[in-house]
Amino acid sequence: MTMSPAVITRVSFSRRLKDRVVLGLVWLAFAVAVVPLISVLWLVIKNGIARFDLEFLTHSMRNIGARDAGGGAYHAILGTLEQVGLAALISVPVGLLTAIYLVEYGQNRQLARSISFFVDVMTGIPSVVAGLFVLAFWVLVLGLGYSGFAGALALSILMMPTVVRSAEEMLRLVPNDLREASYALGVPKWKTITKIVFPTAFTGIITGVMLAIARVAGETAPLLLTVFSTDSINEDPFNGPQMGLPLYVFDQAQRPNVTAVDRAWTGALTLILIVMLLNLVARLIAWWRSPAKGR
Amino acid sequence: MAKQIEVSDLDAYYGSHKAIEGITMTIEPRSVTAFIGPSGCGKSTFLRTLNRMHEVIPGAHVDGKILLEDQDLYGPDIDPVSVRRTVGMVFQRPNPFPTMSIFDNVAAGLRLNGRISKSEAEGIVETSLKDANLWNEVKDRLNKPGAGLSGGQQQRLCIARAIAVSPAVLLMDEPCSALDPISTLAIEDLIAKLKNDYTIVIVTHNMQQAARVSDRTAFFNLAGQGQPGKLVEMDETSKIFTNPTQKATEDYITGRFG
């Protein structure tokens, strides 16, 4: 077969046209994704900034009348921090250990495959079902009553699969070379995992945990069913109804006067700020632990 | 410190697939033994059986006997972790621990195997890096990440890491295949130096390298695709490269293989 010699030509018009069209489409898709995000942020900041003051951050809704201005979300902020904190305390260790089992020890065993399957199933559980489960089991059957901890249990059910999946992915990204290098030094497997594999995946795992926290921090439905709701400060997450920021927003937004609606917006703003702050902290931890820092 | 290895009738499997069959050989202490042979003939597999790294792969197992100075590495109550502490390994691709500094990389084996004092670690890190001909290049940046070094330096860092735990045997799985000629030369000089203290086994695809660095050479081959690899012959390197007994060896080293 003879081949005609290659000729160097200019980029044809049709290829340049296609390039432009596809580039335009990519920008359009970008805009479609970003416009709602910006508009939500804009709306929440615009409407929430009015009541974002010291009183809002330090006072509860106790003894605030239906039409009164003032009042705040201190009880809700406290409740959210405690509930999400407890949920993280339950689901992060369990999730990480599950991920380590799946990646390092599972090796396609029956147990590992079924765990993997049920983690997938858990990912699909609607949040209200998690709330209903805790309501039925913890609050009603065991009779332990509404509490922040019951809410944390419901949230941890929602958090766990996210933690498992993201940690699993990060652990799988650790090159096998590193495990072998460690074994070849005569390091036992558990030490290889805790001292070599885990630190290598640490940055990614932190990011995954933060995403999981951000996801559950905004959950309303499971909290409605488990922590109930209150206008007063309840510092004890193990006893009696608490408040949470999503609940607070839900509660205030349905009250028929402007002062309450303003508080709802500010509550939403506070929630966004808390999640953003957590993300920032996670970035800082990741940066601080990053090996590239010293380069 | 250096120890002799005696292998008798060793088979290695991946699941039900037999990768190598019937290997019997003696590896002398304080010398360099090179394994050569075509790809897939089981040299690396055999090398990994020598420190029980083979069984790290799911489904992999070994049949036969390996004696390290009268101690059976595959004895029933032998801890594979302790075997790997005695028989060190350097891999094909440099693999320093990315989260650790140069210092921590070299000290890793010692630290992860038990507590040692800082001054003790400093001494061992310095001698290991000196033995690995890397000290002068990194002594001013010991706390910088090991991954920031060049490929050749990383490989010497891995060698320093391997010798820091003072093994009796050092296995090298194509340690220069990812390196440029200058780094390769640095590693070959290093091997020549290290053989005074260690038993060194090196797998290489580069026959000039085998001829340059090794005292004895073993030629592996396989009868055909899917067949287990076998040891064809093993002798003094000079004999293998000038006057091998087997026709297959001669064909391979003269490039008339296949």
For residue B7, the cross-strand partners are B25, B66
Average pLDDT for residues B132-139, to the nearest whole number?
91
Q: What Å distances lie between residue B105 and A233, B123, B198, CA to CA?
A: 52, 14, 21
Average pLDDT for residues B45-69, to the nearest whole number?
92
Distance CA B233, CA B244 (A): 8
The distance of B165 to chain A (nearest Cα, Å) reads: 7
The pTM of the full predicted model, rounded to 2 decimals, is 0.85
Domain ranges of chain B: 5-95+169-253
Joined together, the tokens standing for residue A21 give 């069209």
Average pLDDT for residues B170-187, to the nearest whole number?
88
Q: Write the pLDDT tens digit of every residue in A22-48.
A: 999 999 999 999 999 999 999 999 999
- Cα separation of the two ends of chain B: 41
Rg over alpha carbons for chain A, rounded to the nearest Å, is 25
Q: Write the pLDDT tens digit of every residue in A106-120.
A: 888 899 999 999 999
**Do the Cβ atoms of B109 and A191 come within 8 Å?**
no
Check: CB of residue B245 under 8 Å from CB of residue B35.
Answer: no
Distance CA B44, CA B11 (A): 13
Closest CA to B249 of B80, B35, B56, B47: B35
Comparing CB atoms, the residue among A192, A196, A294 nearest residue B145 is: A294
pLDDT band at A82 (very low <50, low <70, confident <90, very high): very high
Interface contact A185, partner B, CB < 8 A = yes
Q: What is the pLDDT of residue A295?
A: 41
- B71: helix, coil or strand? strand
CA–CA–CA angle A140, A143, A148 (5° rounding):
90
Closest CA to A198 of A78, A79, A99: A99
Flag the least confident range among A188-197, B134-143, B175-184: B175-184
Q: Write the pLDDT tens digit of every residue in B192-233.
A: 988 998 999 999 988 889 999 999 999 999 888 888 999 999
Quick check: A4 pLDDT over 90?
no
**Do the Cβ atoms of A199 and B58 come within 8 Å?**
no
- A278: helix, coil or strand? helix
Q: What is the pLDDT of residue A145?
A: 87
The amino acid sitting at B11 is D
Residue with tokens 């209150």: A230
Q: What is the pLDDT of residue A291?
A: 58
**Do the Cβ atoms of B165 and A185 come within 8 Å?**
yes
By CA distance, what is A294's nearest residue in B?
B144
The distance of B53 to chain A (nearest Cα, Å) reads: 7
Q: Which residues of B touch A (CB under 8 A)?
A: 51, 53, 56, 58, 81-86, 88-89, 91, 93, 95-101, 108-109, 112-113, 143-145, 147-148, 158, 161-162, 165
Check: CB of residue A180 under 8 Å from CB of residue B56.
Answer: yes
CA atoms within 13 Å, Cβ hemisphere of A184: 30
Interface contact A2, partner B, CB < 8 A = no
Quick check: A2 pLDDT over 70?
no
| DSSP per position, B122-160 | HHHHHHHHHHTT-HHHHTT-TTSBGGGS-HHHHHHHHHH
* CA torsion angle A130 A131 A134 A136 (round to 10): -110
Q: Which of A187, A192, A206 to mutate to test the interface with B (most CBs of B within 10 A)?
A: A187
Strand ordering across the sheet containing B169-173: B71-72, B60-68, B5-14, B17-27, B229-236, B216-222, B32-36, B199-203, B169-173, B87-90
Comparing CB atoms, the residue among A188, A200, A291 nearest residue B81 is: A188
- A165: helix, coil or strand? helix
- B95: helix, coil or strand? coil
The distance of A52 to chain B (nearest Cα, Å) reads: 42
Q: What is the pLDDT of residue A111?
A: 94
By CA distance, what is A177's nearest residue in B?
B95
Check: CB of residue B105 under 8 Å from CB of residue B114.
Answer: no
Average pLDDT for residues B53-71, to the nearest whole number?
90
Q: Write the pLDDT tens digit of every residue in A198-238.
A: 999 998 999 899 989 988 998 999 999 999 888 888 989 99
The alpha carbon dihedral of A120, A122, A125, A127 has a sign of negative
Average pLDDT for residues B88-116, to the nearest whole number?
90
Check: CB of residue B157 under 8 Å from CB of residue B105.
Answer: yes
| DSSP per position, A62-109 | TT--TT------HHHHHHHHHHHHHHHHHHHHHHHHHHHIIIIIITT-
The amino acid sitting at B33 is T
The alpha carbon dihedral of A90, A153, A244, A269 has a sign of positive
Query: Contacts of residue A292 in chain B, CB cutoff 8 Å?
Result: 145
The distance of A94 to chain B (nearest Cα, Å) reads: 25
pLDDT band at B183 (very low <50, low <70, confident <90, very high): confident
**Do the Cβ atoms of A294 and B109 come within 8 Å?**
no
- What ipTM was estimated for this complex? 0.90
**Do the Cβ atoms of B98 and A200 come within 8 Å?**
yes
Q: What Å distances lie between residue B139 and A189, B111, B134, CA to CA?
A: 31, 20, 8
Interface contact A291, partner B, CB < 8 A = yes
**Do the Cβ atoms of A185 and B143 come within 8 Å?**
no
Query: Contacts of residue B88 in chain A, CB cutoff 8 Å?
Result: 184-185
The amino acid sitting at A79 is G
Distance CA A263, CA A59 (A): 12
Q: What is the pLDDT of residue A3?
A: 66
pLDDT band at A8 (very low <50, low <70, confident <90, very high): confident
Q: What is the pLDDT of residue B131?
A: 86
Joined together, the tokens standing for residue A120 give 């997938």
**Do the Cβ atoms of A291 and B99 come within 8 Å?**
yes
Q: What Å distances lie between residue B199 and B119, B167, B202, B214, CA to CA?
A: 28, 9, 10, 11
Q: What is the pLDDT of residue A294?
A: 46
**Do the Cβ atoms of B145 and A181 come within 8 Å?**
no
What class does CATH assign to A75-294? mainly alpha
Interface contact A177, partner B, CB < 8 A = yes
- CB proximity list for A239: less than 8 A, separation 6 or greater: A145, A147
CATH number for region B5-95+169-253: 3.40.50.300
Distance CA A82, CA A203 (A): 24
Beta carbon pairs, A and B, within 8 Å? 84
What is the average pLDDT score of chain B? 90
**Do the Cβ atoms of A185 and B108 come within 8 Å?**
yes
**Which position has the higher pLDDT, B60 or A7?**
B60
Q: Which of B48, B95, B157, B172 to mutate to test the interface with A (most CBs of A within 10 A)?
A: B95
B-contacting residues in A 187-226 (Cβ below 8 Å): 187-188, 191-192, 195-196, 199-200, 202
- Could you say which DSSP state residue B235 is in? E
Quick check: A272 pLDDT over 60?
yes
